[in-house]
Amino acid sequence: MANEPPTAPTETNLPSDPSLYDLDRVALGELLDGEPRFRLDQVWSGLYEQLKDPADISNIPKVLRTAIDELLPPSLTMVRRSVSDDRETSKFLWQLRDGYLIETVLMHYDDRTTVCVSSQAGCAMACGFCATGQAGFDRHLSTGEMVEQVIRAGQISAETNRRVDNVVFMGMGEPLANLGPVASALERLNEDVGIGARHLTVSTVGVVPGIEAFTDLQSQVGLAVSLHAANDTKRNELVPINKRFPLDVLARACHRYVQTTGRRLSFEWAMIDGVNDTDADAAELAAYATPLRAHVNLIPLNATPAYATVGSPLSRVHQFKDRLHTGGVNATVRRNRGTDIDAACGQLTAHHRSVRR
Ligand code: SAH
């Protein structure tokens, strides 16, 4: 089994009754049938523009607020909020209505606020260095479960007079294995919450049919590909889906995304000590990234329980970046955020599970 490449699950087994942010405007209009026509605008604007809970949408009758609350319950119950030392990073552990756990990270920077959302409970892609991959797949998230993560982070940001400017689908799960609901969530965030498409990013492990379908959406939403190795032998080890969609196939899909959308592609590269941080790795990466004009994000690996290797020392990360620059590739080092609060993908859930065990 260990040598088999992972497959994307097709079963959704989502809760069948919709939650607060699952309905699109038309479906919410149907639910409000019998109300005056302007009610839909009031409710929609209350939920998505003013980020209000139904109980606080004060320009609609109280009975309607209660009815919405009962018919469309929220999908997320906060289990824990961890705040990092600098107070600029918060991590939320949520319980879904069927009991599964997911995480969201909220990061304030000087010039922007970013939310990192989960697209699945767990993940089936089995990358060994990733805490979510180590734990396995629970289920896909619905559109509303993804949108709600952003709304809740937005409500919390408003307490300190900040608003969410960027959303990255870099939390738990593989977004391109759940593209239908992810695409609807992107649309809702763009059109209703008002986050520009160029401020939305989807990160993929490299599920090629997903990249093709994402390209065909012809949107301006950004794409990041988790590369981590630029030769097939090494990438097969680090990112098992590579056995199904090897690097040359991945490069063709990336090329078509760039050609079709005109957007710059990013590669993510978790720097793992002695594994993918040598000069030879940098040379392979430069050769792979150059024809695609991709930008490289270097992320020092966060240690996880079931993976013995640690992140590269910062000096090595910077040397690696310099090698890439010399090779003509644009690269930046992503500042680790919230390492003290287990903010890397899946870590909080893993910790919560082991504490409860
Ligand atoms: N499944 C998607 C999105 C979720 S993971 C994907 O693979 O892109 C988001 C990013 O965090 C990916 O680049 C992933 O490889 C990286 N990541 C996972 N575990 C990590 C860890 N322990 N340290 C650093 N980066 C990690």
**Can you say whether the dihedral through the CA atoms of 288, 294, 300, 303 is positive or negative?**
negative
Count, residues in the chain = 357
Distance from the CA of 200 to the center of ligand 1, in angstroms?
17
Residue spans per domain, the chain: 25-71, 77-356
- Best probe residue, ligand 1, of 140, 265, 299, 312 (max atoms within 8 Å of C-beta): 299
Q: Is the CATH code 3.40.30.10 the one for domain 77-356?
A: no
- Is ligand 1 within 6 A of the CB of residue 119? no
CA distance 135 to 310: 19
Which band of pLDDT confidence, cut at 50, 70 and 90, is reported for residue 128? very high
Q: Return the ligand 1 atom nearest residue 228 CA.
A: 15
Q: What is the pLDDT of residue 9?
A: 59
Q: Is 353 exposed, middle or buried (0-12, 13-18, 19+ CB in 10 A)?
A: exposed
- Whole-model pTM above 0.85? yes
Q: Determine whether 103 is an active site residue.
A: yes
Q: Return the ligand 1 atom nearest residue 311 CA.
A: 23
- H helix intervals, 81-178: 131-135, 143-158
Which tens digits make up the pLDDT trace of 142-194?
999 999 999 999 999 999 999 999 999 999 999 999 999 999 999 999 999 99
Of the candidates 201, 172, 318, the one whose C-alpha atom is nearest the C-alpha of residue 266 is 201
Which band of pLDDT confidence, cut at 50, 70 and 90, is reported for residue 355? very low
Distance from the CA of 335 to the center of ligand 1, in angstroms?
14
